[in-house]
A and B are shown apart, each in its own frame.
Chain A
Amino acid sequence: MSTLYKELERESGMAETGNEKEHWDMVIQPKTSMLDLQLKEVWRYRDLIMLFVKRDFVAQVKQTILGPVWHVIQPILTTLMFWVLFGRIAGIDTGVPGPMFYMSGIALWNYFSTCLTSTAGTFVTNAPIFGKVYFPRLILPISVVISNLIKLGIQLGLLLVMMAYYGITGKFVFHFNTSLLLVPIVIFILAGLSLGLGIIISSLTTKYRDFTLLLGFAVQLGMYISPIPYPLSKLAEGSQLRLLLDINPITPLAEAFRYALFGQGTFTVGTLLYSLAFMMVILFFGIIMFNKVEKSFMDTV
């Protein structure tokens, strides 16, 4: 057996240096380079991404009376609950009208948590397809992140309606400026973060299902250590909880998002860059892990 293994090493070495006599379009081997991210292939299958996005959206609203309206009912009810719980009972001062404040946080958090939980299940839920046909596996989590953008868009639309109400009735004065450009940046970083974390978890869950269970309450608890139901400014600088929130890469995102919309938020360019760097590192390692797992996960899933 040891000779077989040695041979294998020699062969894979040969393939890398391109010393082969014949040219192959594709070589199937047990191991490939770790850093081969196969992003080119993902690009080649870009049509499939959009078709999956369409499938997700169409399939969800078919045979429902309210259709896409369902995407706004949940955030409205959650907003109401937060408003009563945190605004009225706990009496946390949000600085801006409560419903608007909560709605903005909930829309962001919903996007993050649905992206995370559904990309985390990529391998397990799609095992029947993956077992039968090859396409770059990364297509599916990417399509999930994109199709959730549609839902986020609907919820942001609802937020705009609320903002228009407060603006027209004069209950809140908006000062929009170039900081609005932060909105797409925040959403981009958030998407990358949820994709990266999601594919890391999905890579781990192929073998150890424990991570799915862990994720369930991690997402629930995560919201409370992010400035979603309260503003960051409510926490005293240097307190233990504040430290926890400073580490959390979502904190600057939520704060920057509210700053862009309402002109109130505690963040700096530095903290936002921290989120971006965090996202890029997570995404990079996520893709490496994902590609490593995707080749053999059918045997372990």
Chain B
Amino acid sequence: MSNTVIKVENLSKQYRLGQIGTGSLAHDVNRWWHKIRGNEDPYLKVGEANDRSSKGNSDYVWSLRDINFEIKQGEAVGIIGRNGAGKSTLLKILSRTTSPTAGKIGIKGRVASLLEVGTGFHPELTGRENIFLNGAILGMTKAEIKKKFDEIVDFAGVERYVDTPVKRYSSGMYVRLAFGVAAHLEPEILIVDEVLAVGDTEFQKKALGKMNQVSKGEGRTVLFVSHNMAAIKTLCTHGIVLKQGVSVFNGSQYDAVNYYQSSDSTNSFIHAPDIASAPGNDNIKILRLEAAPQEGSELTIFSGLEFQLVFFNAGVGKNLDITFEVQNQDNVIVFHSGGHISKQYDSKKGIYHLTCKLPKRFLNAGTYSLSIIFGENQRFVLYSASDIISFEVLHETSGSNSSRLPGLTFPEIEIQSDFSNE
């Protein structure tokens, strides 16, 4: 266990909601009064899990609650979670911009945190001056920055503008310069928060490459928060999933992404007991929706797939059509396709049963989400529901291939070969 570089024990962070106004002085006095008598802080007792969507009873919430994990040297750990899950709070505590309410973190080595690019950039200063200022803010000494200066300018590609105030920079140049400084830090532990969501594609690739080099090539430890699941999968070696301030999963990056996406998505089927409570609108109500195998009991690459849909239609005498859209985990749309339900302006008010069949060996193994759009005359949207259900296509062992193969689809390919001996 000697190469553990970050050890987090029972880490908790409590926040007070609402305006820090008239109440806080009274609470401060109350706290102080308890402290004097040797009692514990009365406000540590209260506090609820951090669930944004429901209105809580308490003014205090736990943004993080009893988090425990260890990170070893050279690991690249992705931290995943919905907005408000506590990711940023965790990074803030690790980078010491705020302190925990309870618990302890032990860290070995120098930490540099990149919660934002260009922290402390001053618009009036030139690129050169800002490199030095920003580098020093991030913890480099003047000598270190001097050594790296040319590399940074080169990485950012701003050689011509280095003596121009950064307020004259294009936003892309600004970001590249800022990331350039950060990327050339040499900390043992690098903490990165979603900064890659900036810049053009080329720059994003460059930034991801640099991070990859930092973690894999140079053996540094990287903590990375992102909503970009593809980046998490390629960059990280581990994943931690946070949900409402609690760590719910800790394992390999693939499993973490899978866990997050399956727990994050909606139901795997819809079974509405009656029309009134069914999802939909005045035009369409969805009573049942399910993704089922055509053969056998399990949905696999080879079982074929059908969407079984039961819906209530209110509009009479219309040209009704439907479109299915299937998205994979990386939010890539695999297909967006559909067809007519009624062609002759003859839709009836009532319940329709519909099956949409997809051939076997079409979708590769993976988790997908389905969106459906009901339309009229292929022009007007009657009802659309995105990510209404999710389903998983399993991999079926065929021959020697026991693991999932890459690719969106898994088509049967007809191969013809001729052989001639010269």
Contact = CB atoms under 8 A, between A and B. Distances in A.
A298 B103 CA distance: 19
Nearest to A208: B25
A267 interface: no
A1 B44 contact: yes
B100 A58 contact: no
B147 interface: no
Interface string A44-63: 01011001101100110011
Contacts of A300: 20, 24
A90 interface: no
A73 to B, nearest CB: 21
B99 A59 contact: no
A14 to B, nearest CB: 9
A36 interface: no
Interface string B122-148: 101100010011001111011000000
B132 A4 contact: no
B102 A30 contact: yes
B197 to A, nearest CB: 16
A16 interface: no
Nearest 3 pairs between A and B by C-beta? A24-B106, A295-B99, A134-B96
Interface residues of A, number: 44
A266 B6 CA distance: 60
Interface stretch (B111-119, B297-305, B327-335): B111-119
19 contacts: A4-B12, A5-B41, A7-B10, A23-B108, A24-B108, A28-B99, A28-B106, A30-B101, A30-B103, A47-B136, A51-B133, A54-B129, A129-B120, A130-B97, A132-B119, A134-B111, A135-B139, A298-B97, A300-B24
Contact of B40 (A5, A27, A52, A55): A5
B101 to A, nearest CB: 6
B129 A299 contact: no
A4 B129 contact: no
A299 B97 CA distance: 10
B102 A8 contact: yes
Interface stretch (B87-95, B235-243, B361-369): B87-95
B83 interface: no
A55 B142 contact: no
Interface string A1-45: 110110110011001000000111111111000000000000001
B98 interface: yes
B107 interface: yes
Given A30-B100, A133-B120, A207 B113 contact: no
B45 interface: yes
Given A1-B40, A4-B102, A207-B20, A59 B122 contact: yes
B44 A298 contact: no
B199 to A, nearest CB: 18
B283 interface: no
